[in-house]
Structure 1
Amino acid sequence: RPECLHTRSQELAAAASCGDEGSLNYCFSHLVSTDSATPVEQLTSELESCFVSAGCTNAESQIMALWTLQRCNEAPSDLRRRRDGAIPLPREAGAMPGITMVAVRQANDEPTTAAPAPTSTLTCFTETTIEITSCPVQTTGAGAGKKLSCFPTQVPSSVCADNLICQIDNQGNPSCMIKQSKLPLEGIIIAIVFASFIAVSVISICFFCCRERRQQSRLLRAAEAAKIAQEAKTQAMIDAKKSG
């Protein structure tokens, strides 16, 4: 029976009449004893804890624990046939909790294309799985709003394929283009032209700055020479008056 609980945990969780399916699946496959010599009473107690943690009432948990052990004695085809005809459970007003379920799909890590652009045959996104922690919340019944036990699970996630640049428009339609890891010839030519333009601009600025500086130096020297000549002329006139 412990082996059945572990190998058929997903099937048993889906067939249960109460409780969060993801929480039950995780509890059956990870938290229930794996020892084949485990007494039935201990297995029953562990299963009851699983159902209580998943949102079932104590009465429902006792019934579902026995029901699950009985299902492990049946062939898988019998379990699938009974899934829609679950055993009757005591249903009191507000006693049956409604559970917010986390749907988990088995991802095959195969690339999928979601509505590709008519002009593109690229596979934009690939499907993979990511690890998350799911914390279901009971939504109906006497325990509505109660946060149930958290458990790790895997959920599908779409990621952009390698060597592509992906985006999604406002309508949710994906599109993608090939990522260019090397600069094309046109880009190299444009880069060279742009660099040449910058170099010519810098050289031109330096040339005009140097020419303006030389002109200013020449004008300054001419002004100083004119000042010296004027002072010499004035001094000569003063000396001439004194001698006269």
Structure 2
Amino acid sequence: MRFFPTIYLASGAIAAVVAPQNDQPNCILYHRAEMAEEAECGNRDIIKACFEKLETQAVPQLEECYKSAGCTDDKASILALGAEERCLTKIAGGELRKRSRAVLEARAPEPTYMARADDLLENAPGLLGRATTSSSNTETMSGSSCVTASLTKVNTCEPRSSGGGSTCSDVEQTSWVCTPGWTCSFNVEGTHICMVLHNSLDVAGIIVAIVMAVGAIAGIVTITYLCIQNKKEQKRLTAKAEATALARAATKKKRAAERTPLNQGGASAPPPPATLSPIAPEARWLEVLGRGARTWEVYKRRARVVGGDSPKRGVHLAVSRLTL
């Protein structure tokens, strides 16, 4: 049960640290340097110098500081409106967490350690020592050891506390140049972080490039193959449609030939029968007899040949043929 009094003491210390911080009405003025470092645009040194001269944390004055450092009007307005909230949540909250962590570490009792099995094995006689490896990260650095500072003059404008307007002057600005072969940036706390810049193509890059090239070639080959197959299929379907059309035409021609009469197969058709004019039966018989008289000799001979021994029968046959 000794653990609970320690927690109570630590909680009381945290409350003692947190209480005065939350009572500060001007968080931005209290954390000027931190607020300048967390700016997302413009020159941080110019913003810091402008914040040092502020007497109040009014939004227009903050906006003028951001604009004088090189921020756009919209960005400066956004940063000025949310400056107090960012100060309370990020900067002041981070400081409180650091203080509370320090209090807990100071109040926490020192733990007692028992001998580990690894230590026993290493110290045991007759056993070989275990190989240990130590790794050091030589590709990253932090702080000012990886950057070089250079001073440049920049024309900055500061807002006036009364009367409006701003006063412009030349301010020396510190710019940081990264070490050749390294890439540099800032962390959350505003400390320089540098890493080795890899611009050469190593084995992993070559493997990735080969894999991507093989994938691209495979995609092109697949698309080409599918296009060729599609063209072949289109040709096959076209040939099939043409063959079907020819077969249907041949079938229709054959059926039409089967329906055609035999007398139309090269022989001339007989002339249509003669039609008699619509006349009276008596006149028709007179016409028949007249034609028979003109060809009497012919029909007489035919009557003899056709009729044989009965010439009357032959005459009747000749007359009937004439009428037909």
Length-normalised TM-score, structure 2:
0.34
Length-normalised TM-score, structure 1:
0.44
Of structures 1 and 2, the one with the larger relative CO (CA 8 A, separation 6+) is 1
Structure (1 or 2) with the larger CA radius of gyration = 2
